[in-house]
Chains A and B, each alone.
Chain A
């Protein structure tokens, strides 16, 4: 049990949540709640893994995963934006659909053997920084570094650019955006697609970098749902999403590591001598998510920070309000 190893692994596994959470932030900021993240991530993980087996190139796998997950997200976009149907039900359907398709097409992939994975490397100078260097910049996956770049870029895009302003306006006040000539439908389709692509990227990060392989629905093990929860905790802000994701990643690793040593803080380690106690530990990330939701929801209420005002509402041209 080494704090640096736990944090280092936490950043790596947290990168999966980070991509999925930022993707969902894009979709929700445009006013579309997409509960299908889990399904899209499975599609991404399966596509990335099988494409890499077929082509031998993990980067082709990553691109295929992003495209496949983006494609399936468009089903949700069509149902909720064009047909104006219920976003919750449609998102659930997308989870079923994505899970089913990836399990059917992924059948047999778990025995596929080894594939070429995404590279790990250290950043020269930066890895020499005391404490932070070994955690953030030593032997991390290339995906982790992409995550570092994605967060500030996303923040800048949403808060400081014209297209970002359009994105926010479509999610907060679509009829006003529409009157300014911004196409609400087109932007919502686009950001649901972006959300899907990032969920696919998250899936690819699992199967090609962080926990390589295909383990049917255990590949994601509910992380898509945790990502949807983190969006609320993050208050739709990519920087907060980053802290939340890494904290979760570290927690998952801590749970694994705590079961290893025979002594814990000088006492006999109960998790070592009674392995079934470990299942209690495995509840923690989920219990923690609930706590995070309680805190996040209260804070949001107190500060009157809320979800994008039009989140969950279909936009109907010419209808009053909303």
Chain B
């Protein structure tokens, strides 16, 4: 009974964290002299008020989920990937290039190759910091952030130079955008809304990542390296290789997210000079979604929908009560603050449970040796 209550409490923690964040958000709204109930009502209405609104929420959730899947892999491998923005951009650039180059091939083929190209582009952009971390001990948090900035400038260069829409190149305005993809190259719509096939792909991949992490040797090794690199090394795992792999895979999913944005939503790349102009900050918000989903690929699905809803709802909120939609960035930060803070409650109860178990029978408590940690990694999260 008690263990079931504990499980229930664990599951409720993220919900409580969200409520707490919304509570602090309400205080901020009051400071801005806005009625929080009115603001949150507009937010809810914008996100779930109609089938179009809900479809829009799912459209926003799609890149979040894809990025979050990558984050699940890398964070489980104890590699911190903050480079989702850059990886999305590079993935999108490669995919767009494929889509604009091979115009003679059938649509389904080009779309498939483009998505694979996006996957590869992200893998390259994630793999570089991976190699730097594994073989040059360069902190991956910083290198991935720098790779974001480099990717943004590369995008600005390409979209103003070599990849610019030929019709724009002749105009004085020179809007930095690529040509539009052929209609045949668009990801199919799933409903008479803007919801596209990418959402379905993301959900299928979530299941695939779950299987990868907990049902394959590769995933087991990534998690083992994340839990205890030294023990993994003694167990014969090539630690450096799996570090690179974790970042590479993580980047690949972000790259795919970038590709689906082009082929499912915008049908071209366009830049306002910043990364968020293209990605909508999905590279960062995907991290929030993954942490909220407790780094579990399947829990990341509802988490992504929640944050997609926040993003879509924030636009409505901005229109109705004139609160800058950037409030959602602060709300995201608050959610992470509360999620990471609530970890201590979980840890405390775990410790108490161990102590109780120790009193009940005289079995020695599990030691913090490498062997037991490997076992932990084996049995799951």
Contacts and interface: CB of A to CB of B under 8 A. Distances in A.
A99 B274 CA distance: 15
B23 interface: no
Interface class of chain B by DSSP:
helix
A45 B89 CA distance: 28
Interface in A237-276: 274-276
A94 B333 contact: yes
A161 B209 CA distance: 53
Nearest to A226: B146
B333 A294 contact: no
Given A100-B329, A103-B324, A283-B153, A90 B340 contact: yes
A222 interface: yes
Interface in A86-103: 86, 88-90, 92-101, 103
Contact of A279 (B153, B334, B337): B153
Contact of A97 (B156, B284, B287, B337): B337
A75 interface: yes
A274 to B, nearest CB: 7
Interface band, chain B: 35 or more
Contacts of A283: 149-150, 153-154
A132 B374 CA distance: 59
B266 to A, nearest CB: 21
Contact of A289 (B142, B153, B331): B142
B18 interface: no
Interface stretch (B51-59, B130-138, B199-207, B227-235): B130-138
Interface residues of A, number: 49
Which of B80, B145, B150, B323 neighbours the largest number of chain A CB atoms within 10 Å of its CB? B145
A290 B146 contact: yes
Interface in B31-82: 32, 80, 82
Contacts of A94: 333, 337
Contacts of A294: 132, 136, 138
A305 interface: no
B337 A93 contact: yes
B337 A277 contact: no
A88 B81 CA distance: 11
B341 A85 contact: yes
B82 A96 contact: no
B43 to A, nearest CB: 14
Contact of A90 (B82, B329, B332, B337): B337
Interface string B133-161: 00011110111011111100110110011
B30 to A, nearest CB: 13
Which of A92, A93, A280 neighbours the largest number of chain B CB atoms within 10 Å of its CB? A93
A134 interface: no
A277 B82 contact: no
Given A274-B161, A294-B132, A96 B332 contact: yes
B227 to A, nearest CB: 14
Contact of B149 (A222, A275, A298): A222
A96 B138 contact: no
A301 interface: yes
A64 B207 CA distance: 49
B161 A100 contact: no
Contacts of A301: 137
Nearest to B338: A93
Given A86-B340, A97-B334, A103-B326, A92 B142 contact: no
A100 B340 contact: no
A285 B149 CA distance: 9
Contact of B142 (A79, A86, A103, A225): A225
A279 B156 contact: yes
A293 interface: yes
Nearest to A230: B142
A286 B150 contact: yes
A229 interface: yes
A104 B154 contact: no
A100 B333 CA distance: 8
Listed from nearest, the 10 A-B pairs whose CB atoms lie closest are A100-B330, A96-B333, A97-B333, A100-B329, A103-B326, A93-B336, A279-B157, A276-B160, A286-B149, A276-B161
22 contacts: A39-B333, A79-B340, A83-B343, A85-B341, A90-B337, A92-B287, A97-B334, A97-B337, A100-B326, A100-B330, A100-B332, A217-B274, A222-B148, A276-B157, A276-B161, A286-B146, A287-B146, A287-B150, A289-B146, A290-B138, A290-B146, A293-B143
Given A107-B326, A280-B157, A293-B143, 9 more contacts: A35-B141, A96-B284, A100-B327, A103-B326, A104-B324, A217-B274, A232-B142, A285-B149, A294-B136
